[in-house]
Amino acid sequence: MTENTANWWKGGIIYQIYPRSFQDTTGDGVGDLAGIARRLPYVASLGVDAVWISPFFTSPMKDFGYDVSDYRGIDPIFGSMEDFDRLIERAHELGLKVMIDLVMSHSSDRHPWFAESRASRDNPKASWYVWSDPKPDGTPPNNWLSIFGGSAWQWDARREQYYLHNFLTSQPDLNFHNREVQDALLEMTEFWLQKGVDGFRLDTVNFYFHDAQLRDNPPLLPADRKADTAPAVNPYNHQSHKYDKSQPENLAFLERFNTLLKRYGAVSVGEIGDSERALELLEEYTGAPQGMESKRVDMSYVFDFLSGHDLTAQRIADVFAQLQKIAPNSWPCWALSNHDVMRHVTRWNLPEQAAKAYCTVLICLRGSVCLYQGEELGLPEAELQFEELRDPYGIEFWPEFKGRDGCRTPMVWDMGVNGGFSTSQPWLPVPHVHLQRAVVGQEADAQSVLHHYRWAIGLRREHSALRLGQMSDITANGPLLSFRRHDDAQTLHIRANLSDEEAGGLEPWQVQIIEG
Ligand code: ISL
């Protein structure tokens, strides 16, 4: 059970649910809110503090819910508002906090706001989105690129202007420089706060503002390109994103947003996608001197352990050294997998023992943690054929980048039809190899990855030093990682062998935690 303290999130563990793929109760092959409610006892049994539910709002589903056409509506495919009310009630009964996913940087092009905005150049919502005249030669106003491919500008014949979209053309960017837009989004946020949600995951939190002068992004030389947040084959990595995101004006908006949240005792985790300034932003958004709370965002969801770089002892030590230097007052939220990246067991080619070792290390790090559904089963990435793809990002860059469908296939509950996910054909296939990793089988096996996750989560709950303590003496020596976690009550010495050979007196993939 979650203790009812205001800082439950600090050092807490959040379980991410991708609603399309968690549990279908209507037999249409897509998961729904009633399905989540039905499976909440399982989630609570893991010992986590909260769930983060990816978007379930009304949407044409071009980006599977990250394109919202009604911020206050539940998409019928996921159920009704009554289903949501029941879900939240059930979660609270089980001691779980509920965080929902706010996609504020852009809406769907089907949102009535955009329909109005694009109707003319002088309607009341004309500047609710980011519109610009073309250059004299008809080309877009600047060189900004969409993450999902091509220019970030889309021509609109009615206004004879371009509009900005950092993602799909059907995801126009809202203009945060317009105070009315901010107010509308804050009102929408309050609607959900009044429904009793405990917090928000803020999608693309550093994309809210763009440079009002629309200046070109400078190019990045090949040696300076990092493929941390977008795949290497994406030309988005060829620019320094100096002007299209991570603008200073965002700080004042985040303060407005946070003031509202704190009136309801709610919290936020902001997703920061920025290969160049991630740590600086982490400090700007979540930095708070010892004993104080952040004025902007409580936790920052960072990409350091979500990229393709092998997670060696040295890399972990380096990330924490950088963190100490650049973002000493920040509060990160770590994740190894999510609905956007290849599942880490496949990304790093991890045997089962290694999956367990990385789980233990993750749980021992300073910060909060997000676990992604199915990672507690050690699920590998699903291998899909081009014909099976649903994600436009993967369809655009296939086969060099296969998109995000491989990590979004349904949760596997049992060995029955479709792993117990749905009675009819699921929207993405359930791979045969996943069935062997279904929940029921792992519940019955004391050595399973699932039992290991439960044990590790329990360990964190029992040790205040793991949840909130300092982290120090971080060193890497070959495959050996060692560090200390300590608070007034206890000190823990952690040593991990992140290799498949014996090292420093530790078995392959052994993690040793010694109190004292
Ligand atoms: O920042 C990035 C590249 O530099 C990206 O990794 C970006 O932060 C990420 O793709 C954002 O993802 C989120 O917003 C998308 C949605 O498709 C994803 O599913 C969501 O997690 C657009 O809303």
Do 237 and 322 fall into the same domain? yes
Do 457 and 483 fall into the same domain? no
Identify whether 242 is part of a domain: yes
Do 474 and 383 fall into the same domain? no
Identify whether 157 is part of a domain: no
Residue nearest to atom 15 of ligand 1 (CA): 66
CB 166 within 8 A of CB 150: no
Total domains present in the chain: 2
Looking at residue 276, its pLDDT comes to 93
Q: Which two tokens stand for residue 499?
A: 């290799």
Q: What counts of helices (H) and strands (E) characterise the chain?
A: 14, 17
Identify whether 163 is part of a domain: no
With a 6 Å cutoff on the Cβ, whether 63 touches ligand 1 is: yes
With a 6 Å cutoff on the Cβ, whether 340 touches ligand 1 is: yes
**Active-site annotation holds for 271:** yes
Do 388 and 418 fall into the same domain? yes
**Ligand 1 pocket test target in 147, 226, 304 with most atoms within 8 Å of CB:** 147
With a 6 Å cutoff on the Cβ, whether 103 touches ligand 1 is: yes
CB 338 within 8 A of CB 101: no
With a 6 Å cutoff on the Cβ, whether 167 touches ligand 1 is: yes
Rounded distance from Cα 282 to ligand 1 centre (Å)? 17
With a 6 Å cutoff on the Cβ, whether 229 touches ligand 1 is: yes
CATH code of 506's domain: 2.60.40.1180
Quick check: pTM over 0.85? yes
Looking at residue 2, its pLDDT comes to 43
Do 483 and 392 fall into the same domain? no
CB 103 within 8 A of CB 172: no
Active-site hit among 67, 271, 284, 391: 271
With a 6 Å cutoff on the Cβ, whether 204 touches ligand 1 is: yes
Ligand 1 atom closest to Cα of residue 275: 4
Do 294 and 425 fall into the same domain? yes
Do 441 and 348 fall into the same domain? yes
Do 255 and 296 fall into the same domain? yes
CATH code of 64's domain: 3.20.20.80
| CA-based end-to-end distance of the chain | 27
**Ligand 1 pocket test target in 101, 166, 167 with most atoms within 8 Å of CB:** 167
Identify whether 432 is part of a domain: yes
Rounded distance from Cα 204 to ligand 1 centre (Å)? 6
Identify whether 426 is part of a domain: yes
Ligand 1 atom closest to Cα of residue 234: 3
Do 493 and 427 fall into the same domain? no
CB 139 within 8 A of CB 150: no
Helical pair 278-286 and 313-326, crossing angle rounded to 10 deg: 50
CB 463 within 8 A of CB 447: no
Looking at residue 150, its pLDDT comes to 96
With a 6 Å cutoff on the Cβ, whether 147 touches ligand 1 is: yes
Active-site hit among 203, 284, 375, 405: 203
Do 380 and 501 fall into the same domain? no
Q: What share of the chain is helix, strand, coil (3-state, %, to 5)?
A: 30, 15, 50
Among 420, 443, 461, the domain boundary falls at 461
Omega before 508 cis (within 30°)?
no
Identify whether 158 is part of a domain: no
> At which residue do the structure tokens 């998109």 appear?
403
**Active-site annotation holds for 203:** yes
Looking at residue 23, its pLDDT comes to 99
Identify whether 174 is part of a domain: no
Rounded distance from Cα 390 to ligand 1 centre (Å)? 16
With a 6 Å cutoff on the Cβ, whether 203 touches ligand 1 is: yes
Rounded distance from Cα 506 to ligand 1 centre (Å)? 39
**516 exposure class (CB count in 10 Å sphere: 0-12, 13-18, 19+):** exposed
Do 358 and 323 fall into the same domain? yes
Residue 333: CB atoms within 10 A of its CB come to 24
The domain of 190 spans 13-107+179-461
Rounded distance from Cα 269 to ligand 1 centre (Å)? 14
* 363 vs 471: CA distance, rounded Å: 13
Looking at residue 4, its pLDDT comes to 54
Identify whether 171 is part of a domain: no
Do 455 and 507 fall into the same domain? no
pLDDT tens for the 516 residues of the chain, in order: 344 578 999 999 999 999 999 999 999 999 999 999 999 999 999 999 999 999 999 999 999 999 999 999 999 999 999 999 999 999 999 999 999 999 999 999 999 999 999 999 999 999 999 999 999 999 999 999 999 999 999 999 999 999 999 999 999 999 999 999 999 999 999 999 999 999 999 999 999 999 999 999 999 999 999 888 889 999 999 999 999 999 999 999 999 999 999 999 999 999 999 999 999 999 999 999 888 999 999 999 999 999 988 999 999 999 999 999 999 999 999 999 999 999 999 999 999 999 999 999 999 999 999 999 999 999 999 999 999 999 999 999 999 999 999 999 999 999 999 999 999 999 999 999 999 999 999 999 999 999 999 999 999 999 999 999 999 999 999 999 999 999 999 999 999 999 999 999 999 999 999 998
